Structure 1
Amino acid sequence: MLIYVCSSSHGFGHAARDVAVLQALHQLRPDWQLVLSSQLNERVLMSLIGEAPIQIRPCRWDVGMVQADALGSDPDSTLLALEHLHQQLPDLVRAEAEWIRSCGRPALVLGDIPPAAAALAARLDAPLVWMSNFGWDDIYAPFGGAFLRHAEQARASYATGQLLLRCPFDLAMDWGCPEQQLGLVCGTARSLPPDLMEALTTLDQPLIQIGFGGLGLPLDGALLERWTSCHFVMAAPHALVGDRCPANLTLLPEGVRPLDVFPFCARHLGKPGFSTFAEAMAAGVGLHVVERRDFAEVRALLDGLVRHSHHRQLSREQLMQGDWELDRPLLPPSESPLDARGARSAAEALVMQLE
């Protein structure tokens, strides 16, 4: 059996949870061929994959939303990118279908959550499963205008799936598919290099991870020096403004994922994002979350934050001024923690769908 994942190139979070599911699937069915298809940088994908036998196919299946920066979207550029992508998709679907057939195995297409996965599954006459907490129809429709056509096309593609694996922090996704609810979908932390492990475990201050996704967000390094009672850790891209690295900052070396450091962190400062929320909540790390207003998923993420995580919410102005509230107690969740075995549950659902 071949599992082919059409993974959104919108950000790192989709690939992170897709790899977690494929890794869990490898434990259940080590003889299956596992393929991750994404336009993300291969170095990033290999860092996520680690030792798992997952093949990479460098394909762009969707646009998502073009980002102005880590906290804002660019709708005009998104529309132009969507039109360009639609001209390329027929050739991409044809080429990838031919490659999958050349592997000589029956296939299942898992989409997270490019609508074009439906065209690939149809060309292969293969089962189609979706996994996500939102669809691009949910994201595009609120923008109105020319986005409505793209939202309708996406919804029609989503309706052809045989199963929806529904992640937490979810939007409507009213596609008429049979559904299965998942817990937190995230990977597991790997061991740190010995020197980094020693540096982090001998700190006298609480460890705070800063992360704003693949784009990063420029921050004045002097703001970190205002919090001498804390030590910070950041992964690439290190978008710090200033001519020196603050003494209370450790930069993660290449190959070390933010996920690997969460077991040592007290809190995380960053933007709303599914994979960050899932990884932090699974590790019991408090979340300081900076507001974002132009992406429909954020409403569901912040609702989940309040219900299931110790947290504080910040404005963008507070972020840029260094008013990060790290000296204030975290607000407790209103409900119990979410189950952290979502990747395993998704893998088991795929096996049941096929067997």
Structure 2
Amino acid sequence: MLIYVCSSSHGFGHAARDAAVLQQLRRLRPDWRLVMSSQVSPGFLSLLLGDEHIEQRPCRWDVGMVQADALGSDPSATLIALAELDARLPQQVQAEASWIREQGRPVLILGDIPPAAAQLAEAVDAPLVWMSNFGWDEIYRPFGGAFELMAERALESYRCGQLLLRCPFDLAMDWGLPEQRLDLVCSSPRPLPIVLQQTLEALDQLIIQVGFGGMGLDLDPQLFAHWPDHHFLMACPPDPNTSARLAGIANLTLLPDGIRPLDAFPFCERHIGKPGFSTFSEALSLELGLHVVERRDFAEVSALMQGLIRHGHHRLLSRDQLTSGDWQLDRPLVPPEAEPLAADGALQAAEQLIQLGESLCN
């Protein structure tokens, strides 16, 4: 059996949850062939997957929204990128369909959530399963204008398929498909290198992780001095100049290459960042408090924030509070309104895919 995942290249969050599902599939069906198809860098995908037996295919299946920075979108650049993608997709679909047919195995396509996954499934006459908490139709429509056509095209694709695996923090996704609701979809932490673990365990300060996704956010290094009783962790920024500016801060540690932010969560008290599905899922699964900076131009955010308020300990920050250093780390977390969410979503998704996949082989 071949499971081929068309994973969104919009950001690292889609790749993180898709990797979690593939890890469960690998554990349950080690003889199945698993393929992650994404434009996310191979090195970072390898870090997420943590298994060299899960194959990678470097394909861009969607655009999502082009980001102006970690907290804002660029609609004009998004429309240009969508037009460029439309020009490339027919050749890519043809090439990947040919590759899939050459493997000589029954295949199931999992889409999270590029609409073009429907084209690939049709080209190879394969069943199609969607997994997400939103569709690009719901993100594009509020922008109006040319985005209306993009939204309708995406919705038409989403109505194709055999099953929707509905993640938490979800929008309507009224696609007319059978559905299975999932718990939080995330991986588990891996052990830290012993030296880093001992360093963190020896700290007498509260440890706070700061993260704004793959793009990062250029914070004034002086802001960390506002909180001398706290020690901060950050992924190493991609820009060497930014890394150099941060390297000399006494109460900040940059995580070395090969360490996912998730791996350091068990040592942290709180996390400061933007609204994001995978960050929320990983943090809530480990009962980590979240300080979340507002974002207003992405429809998914409302569902994420409603879910956080219901199920997670949190504080909400404005962007001005973030950039001024008013991070409220000395304030108690706001308790959730409801019970915590279970974190079995990756296993549940894998079991659904196995059930559907094995029905193809019988």
Deviation at 1:243, TM superposition (A): 6.8
Amino acid of the structure 2 residue aligned with 1:141 = R
**Which residue pairs with 1:135 in the alignment?**
135
For residues 124-158 of structure 1, give each alpha carbon's deviation from its aligned partner in whole angstroms, at most 9, with x where no partner exists.
00000000000000100000100000000000000
Amino acid of the structure 2 residue aligned with 1:290 = V
Q: How far, CA to CA, are the matches of 1:260 and 1:52 in structure 2? A: 19
DSSP 3-state at the match of 1:172: coil
For residues 190-209 of structure 1, give each alpha carbon's deviation from its aligned partner in whole angstroms, at most 9, with x where no partner exists.
11001100011111111100
Is the CA contact 2:236–2:243 (under 8 Å) kept in the aligned structure 1? no
Q: How does 1:95-114 map to 2 (within 5 A)?
A: 95-114=95-114
For residues 303-350 of structure 1, give each alpha carbon's deviation from its aligned partner in whole angstroms, at most 9, with x where no partner exists.
011000000000000000000000000000000000101000000011
TM-score where L is the length of structure 1: 0.98
Deviation at 1:289, TM superposition (A): 0.1
Q: How does 1:85-164 map to 2 (within 5 A)?
A: 85-164=85-164
**Which residue pairs with 2:25 in the alignment?**
25
Is the CA contact 1:310–1:330 (under 8 Å) kept in the aligned structure 2? yes
Amino acid of the structure 1 residue aligned with 2:355 = M
Q: How far, CA to CA, are the matches of 1:9 and 1:65 in structure 2? A: 10
Could you tell which deviates more after superposition, 309-318 or 234-243?
Answer: 234-243
Q: Does residue 298 of the first structure (1) align with residue 292 of the second (2)?
A: no
Q: Does residue 271 of the first structure (1) align with residue 279 of the second (2)?
A: no
**Which residue pairs with 2:7 in the alignment?**
7
Deviation at 1:291, TM superposition (A): 0.1
Relative distance call for 1:173 and 1:228 in structure 2 (3 A) is same
Unaligned runs of at least 5 residues, structure 2? none
For residues 61-80 of structure 1, give each alpha carbon's deviation from its aligned partner in whole angstroms, at most 9, with x where no partner exists.
00000000000000000001
Q: Does residue 346 of the first structure (1) align with residue 356 of the second (2)?
A: no
For residues 18-68 of structure 1, give each alpha carbon's deviation from its aligned partner in whole angstroms, at most 9, with x where no partner exists.
000000011111100000000011111111111352100000000000000
Q: How far, CA to CA, are the matches of 1:237 and 1:155 in structure 2? A: 36
**Which residue pairs with 1:318 in the alignment?**
321
Amino acid of the structure 2 residue aligned with 1:348 = E
Deviation at 1:237, TM superposition (A): 2.0
DSSP 3-state at the match of 1:219: coil
Q: How far, CA to CA, are the matches of 1:348 and 1:243 in structure 2? A: 44
Amino acid of the structure 1 residue aligned with 2:290 = L
**Which residue pairs with 1:204 in the alignment?**
204
> Number of paired residues?
355
Q: Does residue 289 of the first structure (1) align with residue 289 of the second (2)?
A: no
DSSP 3-state at the match of 2:6: strand
**Which residue pairs with 2:335 in the alignment?**
332
For residues 229-266 of structure 1, give each alpha carbon's deviation from its aligned partner in whole angstroms, at most 9, with x where no partner exists.
10000013265694752101111010000010111110
Q: How far, CA to CA, are the matches of 1:44 and 1:274 in structure 2? A: 18
Q: How far, CA to CA, are the matches of 2:270 and 2:247 in structure 1? A: 24
Unaligned runs of at least 5 residues, structure 1? none
Q: How far, CA to CA, are the matches of 2:109 and 2:14 in structure 1? A: 15
Task: Give the aligned CA root-mean-square deviation in angstroms.
Answer: 1.1
Q: Does residue 214 of the first structure (1) align with residue 217 of the second (2)?
A: no
* Structure 1 counterpart of 2:311, from 298, 301, 308: 308
Is the CA contact 1:34–1:54 (under 8 Å) kept in the aligned structure 2? yes
Amino acid of the structure 1 residue aligned with 2:265 = F
Is the CA contact 1:69–1:217 (under 8 Å) kept in the aligned structure 2? yes
Identity %: 66
Q: How far, CA to CA, are the matches of 2:297 and 2:257 in structure 1? A: 32
Q: How does 1:227-242 map to 2 (within 5 A)?
A: 227-237=227-237, 239=242, 242=245
